[in-house]
A and B are shown apart, each in its own frame.
Chain A
């Protein structure tokens, strides 16, 4: 499936920003099942300072604000050919040791509610079955809802709230999968929803490393493994390690953000 993506993030500030940086992980890579035909990032109101590859092989751009801006806009456009691999991503390569994917992070800490979910998981000899079961259970406990209290909830907070978005689902899944002994990671990317061109936001899901199969994706919010409609952009131990955009700025200006995202089949 050939997908075209156009993703614009527009920040506005109520006062000039004297100095600011945005770290962006918005460059999908070609890999088995995903060929990036073309991809470009355009920044208005700032410039790309450096580009490097992080420990998860994500290509990262560091963008600085032009001095005293009141707005900055980051646009990605590109075409990606995606094959349906039934969620199978393949074996780990590179230097990152497997144990790193079992470490807990601030957003994937275990608490009493996570623990009770761990206890409730139906464990089967078939790891895929166990994890699909876990995925269903999470969606059951945490129905999809965009009305949340915070944009960075830990797995425990998510279960307490009892509702959440794709990011929250992924955090709960990763936390429980790690507790069950599966290395797991967070994935940010794009999903073409079949019924519309205009998408609400970029998507997130999880991957777990299974014996024999390697990394396998689980889109908890949609109850499936990623198929030909998914563009995999960045991975990390949790949202913070794979966030499309994270930044800092000096001054007290209040930020407002609008996102416009189109994913379409060509």
Chain B
């Protein structure tokens, strides 16, 4: 028998399985009943089996800054994260609203900049931002879509409280984990899925294909040719690039496979060069085209921006969308949502102190031990300070960095991230989680896949869930109505 209470509960945190009490919350009832009939030792065996499965299919992840572990497996925890249909409906509506606003924002900042004219966003937010690409000014991408693929990072703090942490409008990764985690769970616990009705996620690659095909360039004729542009096998997400190309019947290409031929970007095939209509690129803007951006880039495709600007190819996501990932821009998101949708934002934004502002900086320096401080352009959990978890020395070192370059940082209160139990040798134990749902945007509409990637901090009390910092993943279940 498995014991699931009394769990060593972390005080002051909302647990998604038990809430703030000891009885399972409604979405977890059926699962808790099943779990109660299971044997911990058998589940631990299953856990080892899952790991072997992941190794077999090769889902690995390169971790920067760790030479000993160039290919590491992201730990998988087999206790699912469960979300009720009506909880999800609100989250999905909130994400859709936000993504709609983001696309309108991106179109605006590369055209009339009404939001600046209206005094709702200071021009410096764009002028001082390297992610703003002048080359995109006046350019309208095919189908009017900038962010074809978005991975909105959410955290939950209470029954009805979700916060957006990051919008990830550039190149969100992790969707392969969402799909593989579900596959693995279906394989290991088929009986669970007959007891509990979970909304599927397996349609994602088909939806991705359909969504990208909805944004073909003017030059496309007939059935669109899609390709995934990868920086190559040394990239940490190479597995995912290959996986997605395979799953949506697209070509997997690297920059040197492509050339400009007859006004199109074309890939070499055994029958000569074949034009690509939509390129799902997993190469950053700066490296995308050495003729227009970084001339030293070996990863990109020379001339692709010219072909793009002439209507010969669709680049997903559009160049220049990275500006929406900037954490200082993030702090304006409630205004951005309101400005372009005329509605209040459904999802909360984390209150954000911009250290570029003297009053905010003073507050942040006075309260470092309570705050999370992040680099404005950073990602992956690198270069951040989690005040409550940091040592005195870490805080004082960080203070120096912050003081010498305040513009580079924002600070946020430490959120009481919800927990979901993980399986340990001693039974269930709560660990903090976040959630990255995946969103597809096309002229036909916005589709939020029910579920997403739940990342879980595996060490007790830790609030950093990034896989690059030792986090794991869980399957995410959104229940049927």
Contact = CB atoms under 8 A, between A and B. Distances in A.
Given A49-B260, A50-B306, A103 B127 contact: yes
A42 interface: no
A19 B123 contact: no
A23, A55, A60: residue with the most chain B Cβ atoms closer than 10 Å: A55
Interface stretch (A90-98, A122-130, A172-180, A257-265): A90-98
Contacts of A102: 127
A55 B311 CA distance: 15
A144 B295 CA distance: 29
A54 B309 CA distance: 8
Interface in B104-146: 110-113, 116, 123, 126-127, 134-139
28 contacts: A23-B303, A23-B306, A49-B261, A49-B263, A49-B303, A49-B307, A50-B307, A50-B309, A52-B310, A52-B311, A53-B309, A54-B135, A55-B136, A55-B137, A55-B138, A60-B309, A62-B260, A64-B261, A95-B110, A95-B112, A95-B113, A95-B137, A95-B138, A96-B138, A97-B126, A100-B127, A246-B291, A248-B295
Given A49-B260, A50-B312, A95-B138, A248 B291 contact: yes
Given A52-B306, A62-B303, A23 B263 contact: no
Interface string A34-74: 00000000000000011111110000101010000000000
Interface of B: 110-113, 116, 123, 126-127, 134-139, 259-263, 290-291, 295, 302-303, 306-307, 309-312
Interface in A104-146: none
Question: Chain A contact residues (Cβ within 8 angstroms of B): what range?
Answer: 20 to 34
B260 A97 contact: no
A179 B262 CA distance: 44
A100 B110 CA distance: 12
Nearest to A241: B134
A21 B111 contact: no
Contact of B123 (A54, A55, A99, A248): A99
Contacts of B138: 53, 55, 94-96
Say whether chain B's binding surface is mostly helix, strand, loop, or mixed: loop
A247 to B, nearest CB: 7
Contacts, number: 78
A50 B291 contact: no
Given A21-B303, A55-B138, A99-B127, A49 B262 contact: yes
Contacts of A55: 134-139
Given A23-B291, A95-B110, A95-B137, A50 B310 contact: yes
B111, B136, B259, B261: residue with the most chain A Cβ atoms closer than 10 Å: B259
Contacts of A21: 260, 291, 302-303
A99 B113 CA distance: 12
Contacts of B303: 21, 23, 49, 62, 64
A54 B136 CA distance: 9
Contacts of B291: 21, 23, 246-248
A21 B112 CA distance: 32
Given A50-B263, A94-B138, 19 more contacts: A23-B303, A23-B306, A49-B306, A49-B307, A50-B307, A52-B306, A55-B136, A60-B306, A60-B309, A62-B260, A62-B306, A64-B260, A95-B111, A95-B137, A97-B127, A99-B127, A100-B137, A237-B134, A248-B290
A19 B291 CA distance: 14
A98 to B, nearest CB: 9
A237 B290 CA distance: 18
A19 B301 CA distance: 12
A29 to B, nearest CB: 15
Nearest to A55: B137
A54 B312 CA distance: 15
